[in-house]
Chain A
Amino acid sequence: MKAAQTSFWFYVFVSVLSVGIFGWYEIYHSGDGTELASTMEEEAVKRLDEANQALQKLAPSSEDMTCNCQFSGAEPNTLAFETPESCGEDRNYLSGALKAFEKLDPNGYYTGTRDHVENSKILPRKCAVFVMRRFWKDRSLTPAQKREADIAYNRTALPTLRRPIKDLKGYSSDARLFGKCEQNSNGKPARHGVKPCVTEEYVNIVYNSLIDVADCMNIPAKHVIPKLANESGMHINAYGPKGDGGINQFVEGALKDIALNFPRFKEIEMSEKESCKRLASIPGAIPKSAKEVLSSDSKRCHVMAAPPNPIRSLVYYGVFYHAMKEYSASFYDQGRDSKDPNFQSVAALLKKANTKKIAVDDEEVKKIMMMMSYNLGPARPVSFFRNWLSYKIANKSPLTKEDFNMTFDATAAVRGKPVGESRAKAITGGKRTLKLAEYVYAYKNSFYASAVKSEGNLLNNRMGAGTCAEAKYLEL
């Protein structure tokens, strides 16, 4: 105990002596004491500035790019941008459009890299990189190319892994899921089979546009990403087999509904939010009249050509999102039908079907209805839902949380059955009632919400739960 006390006072003495000697040395060598204080202050400020500058330079590279994934040309479990060199010449066909974007966006709002810490609160940029890189194939192949690829693969593959080389007829052509449009074009896209190169500049334009639309128009980005992953892989020139176009895969009916909701565009122009101002600064992003929203299939470049897309298409989506939300809610909340005394509301049916009294959050169910409505139209999902509840009641099958989980993957045997009772029996084996996702697939051949749910599940598995998609996505 005594030894410890001695040691303590000894250290105090040595410390005071050291500080004293150091202070005397500094004063002696710097002349005036005031000058010393001033110099130290300036030095401290200078060093802080340098540190901040270094931090700003470091910010983009210190961005979290981890994932549970592996892409070609990248370290395992790490996401990386592609480069024009790594992509090959044919995949750089959007470079001209991206340069044109720079001219329209002199402040670099969309082409530049933003503060990732701030933006990650809405959605991390790596989500866009993952979705864009994962979507479809880099190049759609013809049967001859596929056979050549198999032959090339077999040259180095182990004998047990070699692929059978078939006649050309044994290979099918890949779908060509992209389109080419001239800048600012409103024409029909030329179908193309090559995916754009996922460069940092391209990701920035898509990601920054989405972040601004999410912020300006109050869109929950993590609810939207699985939908975009399913529809277009967030590629601005995605072109579906039936003429669905752009990042949102808009079709004529949806674009007509957007035109019907034209007054909603005015809210963007009137908003004081910086994100709204940035959106409004891009020429062509916001239509001046409902007539400017072009819906016909022959004008699909309207929502695909860059610039002003993807901003225009995403702004349209913002309007569409709120319209769908309102429509779905109005059908869901309909309490009575004045001309029909036998009408049963969703609330009444839920009460009767929910004999085990599980917690059913109407807002979560509405999200499911809304997601279905992107494909089925605004009113049908609620009609299907009411019928499904009636079916559950008629079969005296109490609701469970699992009934609302939209995860559903039809087996080949189920897919092979025609829509109707036989498909329903193939799903359940006649031993239980159908879940909601199964019901709409069995009787209406609708798989859309389950496909989006599957993208949500994948994003949560690969990027971490709640990182890119809501943790409990399309389920209760």
Chain B
Amino acid sequence: MRRSQISRTVIQSVMTVLTSLAFHAPATAQEREPAAKAPVKVYEDFQKRVSQLEADIKKEKDVSKRYEVFLKAYGELSALRAKNPRQSEEQELNMSLFMDSFAAFPDKKEFKAQKCGEYSEKAQKMKSYDEDQKEPFVDRALKLADSICR
């Protein structure tokens, strides 16, 4: 094999590996493999954590502390989804609707207790105008938002 052929083969191999890495690299929520390969029961775990969060929020009397509890759990829920394979579309949609309902809620530094009502009001934009469009995960998120800001 000539030198040029060898170097071409090496370059091709490197490119193949790099391309492969590019496709599989990141464990972000959007680039995960379809549900069939999912080894973790992400959806069940997600719901359990949400139930726990709901209970924890009820216990806290101070709004700032409630928000800290929320932020911690929110980060964990996000990581749970990001580190695991993509679930079925219905499950992904439900989890996303729950997470996206808190789009207007800021991080700890920017959070202002007196503005909590405003954040919660913005979350209402996840409601549908069509009464037939039932979204239990949105309803759950809106209830939780109200509970945080109560």
A binds B: yes
Please tell me the size bucket of the interface on B. 35 or more
Which of B8-16, B40-48, B102-110 is the contact stretch?
A: B102-110
Check if B93 sits within 8 Å of A389, measured CB to CB. Answer: no
Whether, in the assembled complex, A383 has its beta carbon less than 8 Å from a beta carbon of chain B, the answer is: yes
Pick the contact of B31: A327, A378, A394 (CB < 8 A): A394
Please tell me the size bucket of the interface on A. 35 or more
Check if B71 sits within 8 Å of A339, measured CB to CB. Answer: yes
Check if A377 sits within 8 Å of B96, measured CB to CB. Answer: no
- Chain B residues within an 8 Å CB radius of A327: 125
Q: Which residues of B, 113-150, contact A by the 8 Å Cβ criterion?
A: 125-133, 135, 138
Pick the contact of A341: B31, B33, B78, B126 (CB < 8 A): B78
Whether, in the assembled complex, A391 has its beta carbon less than 8 Å from a beta carbon of chain B, the answer is: yes
Check if A253 sits within 8 Å of B31, measured CB to CB. Answer: no
Check if B30 sits within 8 Å of A376, measured CB to CB. Answer: no
Q: For residue B84, give the distance in angstroms from its CB to the closest CB of chain A.
A: 12
Check if A383 sits within 8 Å of B78, measured CB to CB. Answer: no
Say yes or no: A253-B96 contact (C-beta < 8 A), given A339-B107, A393-B31, A444-B133: no
Check if B30 sits within 8 Å of A389, measured CB to CB. Answer: yes
Q: Which residues of A, 214-270, contact B by the 8 Å Cβ criterion?
A: 242, 251, 253-254
Indicate with 1 or 0, residue by residue over A403-446, a CB within 8 angstroms of chain B CB atoms.
Answer: 00000000000000000110010000000000000010011111
- Give CA–CA (A307, B128) in the complex, Å: 30
Which of chain A's residues has its CB closest to B23's CB? A396
Check if A379 sits within 8 Å of B129, measured CB to CB. Answer: no
- Give CA–CA (A443, B23) in the complex, Å: 26
Whether, in the assembled complex, B28 has its beta carbon less than 8 Å from a beta carbon of chain A, the answer is: yes
Say yes or no: A383-B97 contact (C-beta < 8 A), given A342-B78, A344-B28: yes
Whether, in the assembled complex, B79 has its beta carbon less than 8 Å from a beta carbon of chain A, the answer is: yes
Say yes or no: A393-B125 contact (C-beta < 8 A), given A342-B82, A443-B89: no
- Chain B residues within an 8 Å CB radius of A380: 97, 126, 128, 133, 135, 138
Whether, in the assembled complex, A178 has its beta carbon less than 8 Å from a beta carbon of chain B, the answer is: no
- Give CA–CA (A338, B106) in the complex, Å: 6
Whether, in the assembled complex, A331 has its beta carbon less than 8 Å from a beta carbon of chain B, the answer is: yes
- Give CA–CA (A171, B23) in the complex, Å: 57
Q: For residue A10, give the distance in angstroms from its CB to the closest CB of chain B.
A: 83
Check if A394 sits within 8 Å of B103, measured CB to CB. Answer: no
Check if B74 sits within 8 Å of A387, measured CB to CB. Answer: no
Say yes or no: A387-B125 contact (C-beta < 8 A), given A339-B75, A344-B30: no
Check if B125 sits within 8 Å of A443, measured CB to CB. Answer: no
Q: Which residues of A, 345-402, contact B by the 8 Å Cβ criterion?
A: 349, 352, 374-380, 382-384, 386-387, 389-391, 393-396
Indicate with 1 or 0, residue by residue over A431-470, a CB within 8 angstroms of chain B CB atoms.
Answer: 0000000010011111010000000000000000000000
- What are 28 A-B contacts with C-beta separation under 8 Å? A251-B129, A251-B130, A327-B125, A334-B103, A338-B110, A339-B74, A340-B78, A344-B29, A375-B129, A376-B133, A377-B129, A378-B125, A379-B103, A380-B133, A380-B135, A390-B29, A390-B30, A390-B31, A390-B92, A391-B86, A393-B31, A394-B30, A420-B89, A420-B90, A421-B88, A421-B90, A445-B132, A445-B133
User: Which 5 pairs show the lowest CB-CB distances between chains A and B?
Assistant: A338-B107, A390-B30, A342-B82, A339-B107, A379-B125
Additional 4 contacts, C-beta under 8 A, given A380-B135, A390-B30:
A251-B130, A342-B81, A376-B133, A446-B133
